[in-house]
Amino acid sequence: MNYVPTIGLEVHVQLNTQSKIFCTCANSFGKEPNTLVCPVCLGMPGVLPVLNKKVVELAVKTALAFDCTVHPVSVFARKNYFYPDLPKGYQISQFEEPLALDGILEIPVNGAWKTIRIRRVHLEEDAGKLIHPEGRASIKESRIDINRCGVPLIEIVSEPDMTSPAEAFQYLTRLKQTVLYLDVSDCNMEEGSLRCDANISVHPENTDTLGVKTELKN
């Protein structure tokens, strides 16, 4: 029996802005740990986030490039979860009413063009990151850098329209090319400016029933 993969991608893109999404802290990579933070980044009591206008402009620009429908009103919500790199215990994101829906991206497949549907483009803030000291066996700890908390992201979520790793590669490549052309992000994967999670299932050939989905986190 032959099995066919079904693949959908969730792509996180850090935006080219001078400041973070909800505060005036600098959006800059490679600074000393925990030097680009403020009460808003840390979610301290009594502080209120203020949305960065440039973030919205870049997100709308991206959504239109993928032929999405941009909503005149979109809603932010708190996504609650516990993890060491998220000290305030929630991430500000979008779900029920995202920025944009129903886009497309065409990719080359075997000499023809295949249309991959884009389900949604939404805005959210990035989390911090854990640092694991290398080459120091005596240190049994992980360290937390909060500088990345609040860095603006757009998440571009595809429909599960890809049926091979080659198609997923073409989709991600053309998405990256588009974002670079728009000057929305530098897409530097080594610095985390472009990250991709893959949702994959397999099912028997010539059947429409999808298998159990597994999410591979980047």
Which residue is listed with tokens 């295949």?
A: 114
The token pair that represents 207 in the structure block = 């059947």
| pLDDT tens-digit readout, 25-38 | 999 998 999 999 99
Give the mean model confidence (pLDDT) for residues 182-201.
Answer: 95
Cα–Cα–Cα angle for 110, 201, 114, rounded to 5 degrees = 25
| pLDDT tens-digit readout, 100-147 | 999 999 999 999 999 999 999 999 999 999 887 775 666 677 889 999
Residue 209 — pLDDT band, cuts 50, 70, 90? confident
The token pair that represents 99 in the structure block = 């920025």
d(CA 126, CA 193): 10
By mean pLDDT, which of 27-31, 169-173, 177-181 is the weakest? Answer: 27-31
- Count of domains observed in the chain: 1
Cα–Cα–Cα angle for 34, 85, 118, rounded to 5 degrees = 115
Instruction: Count CB-CB contacts under 10 A for residue 14.
Output: 23
User: Which residues sit opposite 59 in a β-bridge?
Assistant: none
Give me the domain span that covers residue 205.
3-216
| pLDDT tens-digit readout, 146-157 | 999 999 999 999
Amino acid (1-letter code) at residue 106? E
pLDDT at 138: 62
Longest dimension (CA), the chain: 60
Look over the chain and give the mean of its residue pLDDT values, rounded to a whole number. 93
Residue 87 — pLDDT band, cuts 50, 70, 90? confident
pTM for the predicted model, two decimal places: 0.92
